[in-house]
Chain A
């Protein structure tokens, strides 16, 4: 029973990581860049939905939608201004710019909303009681898990079936060839950022509902964890991000419960290193054989 309750807290934490990792992996898979500002877009999503609910007293659903819209616009805006001019630059230059954007978002949030933490009211409250009350799962955990699965499945469908999705895959394979086939590479990459940022907004709402506190630095640590999760599952792979996030959460929870709360983080990273040594492209990643 104890094990089950630890497992459940691991799964709910893992699905929070997974939902952030999906955004990371989406952008990486297509634009081939590590968007370190992703965690901060999540924070912005959290603040927007907070303000909508707390100051404007909008219904939760509307608040979430508003956060999605604002973050999507923000994502497109960032991409236009900071990443697009670097389309042909070395990938490290883009990485540094992303870090600059991350600092920018964090410090803007600090100026706008101040440093004092806000307490976030979860979008859904309450707890489901299972097995005669011996096991309890909060509704927000259930919502996160469901949202995560739905997003993962619809993203997989979108990328494999839709026209835009096919264009994205083409860009991911070979930008120049995709261009020759008449695909608007720039528009496709912008669309990827829009989707990634929309996901970040949803992730922001769920993260804050789970963690119930909101600060300008809220997004950075989960961002790094989710990035790890994305690599763990095989970066660029959508089911991989889901699996990676989930496993990361479960390992973290079980390590806390059975080994040491102090070393939980170190254990997560140690497992990651071992997995990558055995499977160098992550759990579900494709290892591309190199041509000579």
Chain B
């Protein structure tokens, strides 16, 4: 008993000392030593780039994709002959505003100059306010609410905004499926889902080309079973079910719909992307599903192919749209840094001002869109592509 206790105590003590040691070791790193070291010889400029997202907890599926995608891009850039190189920092923000600010502060303490993150909308809004006050350049790969960029000149997005998606989906259905009876199933405790739903319904009413016959919701607490929502849609005679949600619950909805032999056209948004590469997913369930997506993991495009291959090899899972957005984000930052002619010894506010100056005149080709451009509000402009899943593949419409 005594021995066991002693062992336990030692273990605990070790953990604490390790924690303490690590912290001390971090401090001398603070002024970006890597940056200033490199630039003396060649003209290579090294910047400290940070990325964060929920790496643990219920949203880890999105945060890990973002951080992995960014890391992959950084490694590629550093291995290339590019004159812009990055030192990469990553932190877990648990998808929470408080933790995201802690993560951001931690990376700033470690000399971060540019932020590619956070992943989730709530955390991004909280961090955006701080970066705005600090003058740190922030490019979020995946936070899609307009509130993230609102009134902040230093914050830009790589993904579509929620209203953008809602309008796009309503436009497409109005044009191609006029007269359809549409059911909406969305997640009402999620900003992304609610945001898209709000514009979609507003646009639908304005257009009047199709009718919304059923609207049901779920929350994280009731995401186990969708049969009631599906039954309601079926009974209302809906022939299109609009799912402004992520692919994980969508996969459950598809399989439960099949179990009750209900086969409407399912229509998803960019969050639906990833469903085909979900491990062990029966792609026949997704046959005929339509979605608006900027990225397709099984696209024939060379850049996408090589990205998917390297990502899968490195991280053991297939990339989704989040990873692609983050991968693009790093290349966007690189392009902007090159265009603005920043040097590694510039401070974060200096870099921020330089980048803000060039962002609106930048045009970048990425995995999630060709010739992406940005307006002063920080919104990206790229074409959403409507795709139909046929034989387990996206077919672009």
- Chain A: residues with CB nearer than 8 A to chain B? 2, 5-6, 9, 12-13, 16, 50, 54, 106-107, 110, 114-122, 127, 136, 138, 140, 207, 210-213, 215-217, 220-222, 224-225, 252-253, 256-257, 261-262, 264-265
Does A117 lie within 8 Å of B61, measured CB to CB?
yes
Does B60 lie within 8 Å of A225, measured CB to CB?
no
Does B220 lie within 8 Å of A221, measured CB to CB?
yes
Does B278 lie within 8 Å of A117, measured CB to CB?
yes
Does A213 lie within 8 Å of B248, measured CB to CB?
yes
Per-residue 0/1 for B221-244: is the Cβ within 8 Å of any A Cβ (1 yes, 0 no)? Answer: 111110111011001000000000
Does A261 lie within 8 Å of B315, measured CB to CB?
no
Q: Which residue of chain A is the closest to B188 with respect to CB atoms?
A: A262
Does B225 lie within 8 Å of A116, measured CB to CB?
no
Does B228 lie within 8 Å of A256, measured CB to CB?
yes
For the complex of A and B, the 8 pairs showing the least CB-CB separation, nearest first, are A115-B60, A119-B281, A9-B227, A256-B228, A138-B259, A117-B248, A115-B61, A265-B221
Neighbour of A5 across the interface among B61, B231, B248, CB < 8 A:
B231
On chain A, the residues within 8 Å of B221 by CB distance are: 221, 224-225, 265
Interface assignment of B208: CB less than 8 Å from any CB of chain A: no
Say how far B15's CB is from chain A's closest CB, in angstroms: 13
Does B231 lie within 8 Å of A120, measured CB to CB?
no
Say how far B115's CB is from chain A's closest CB, in angstroms: 21
On chain A, the residues within 8 Å of B217 by CB distance are: 261-262
On chain B, the residues within 8 Å of A127 by CB distance are: 259-261
Say how far B354's CB is from chain A's closest CB, in angstroms: 35
On chain A, the residues within 8 Å of B223 by CB distance are: 211, 221
Interface assignment of B219: CB less than 8 Å from any CB of chain A: yes
On chain A, the residues within 8 Å of B65 by CB distance are: 116
Q: Which residue of chain A is the closest to B186 with respect to CB atoms?
A: A261
Most chain B CB within a 10 A radius of its CB, from A121, A212, A253: A212
Say how far B86's CB is from chain A's closest CB, in angstroms: 24
Say how far A14's CB is from chain B's closest CB, in angstroms: 10
Say how far A141's CB is from chain B's closest CB, in angstroms: 8
Does B280 lie within 8 Å of A118, measured CB to CB?
yes
Interface assignment of B317: CB less than 8 Å from any CB of chain A: yes
On chain B, the residues within 8 Å of A220 by CB distance are: 58
Q: Which residue of chain B is the closest to A224 with respect to CB atoms?
A: B221
CA distance A64 to B227 in the complex (A): 25
Say how far B275's CB is from chain A's closest CB, in angstroms: 9
Interface assignment of B83: CB less than 8 Å from any CB of chain A: no
Per-residue 0/1 for B249-279: is the Cβ within 8 Å of any A Cβ (1 yes, 0 no)? Answer: 1011001100111000000000000000011
Knowing A110-B56, A114-B317, A256-B222 are in contact, say whether A119-B280 is a contact too (CB < 8 A): yes
Does B222 lie within 8 Å of A252, measured CB to CB?
yes
